[in-house]
Amino acid sequence: MPFIVQRDDPDREYFEIYEGKQYVGRIYKTPIGSWYWSVDLLLIAGKKSIDGHAATRTNALADLKNAWMSVAETVV
């Protein structure tokens, strides 16, 4: 299922990421210009977070998607 990227704050580069209707995580531009990504659904499920930084929004989304695909079966 494709990811849905939804801007959370019109004044910031901050996006919530969904797989269908299921919230997965977020990506946002940091003050130093890199992009932070996090699979937040893991925290909601009481598991260890998977997160990281990337140079671009596209790379952050790809990293988040790869991380999600590797753990999705254990969370949902």
pLDDT in tens, 8-58: 888 899 999 999 998 889 999 999 999 999 998 777 667 778 899 999 999
> How high is the pLDDT of residue 2?
86
Res 5 pLDDT > 70: yes
Res 59 pLDDT > 60: yes
Count other C-beta atoms under 10 Å from residue 8's C-beta: 11
DSSP for 6-72, written as a single string: EES-TTSSEEEEEETTEEEEEEEE-TTS-EEEE-HHHHHTTS---EEEESSHHHHHHHHHHHHHHHH
Instruction: Delimit the domains of the chain by residue range.
Output: 3-75
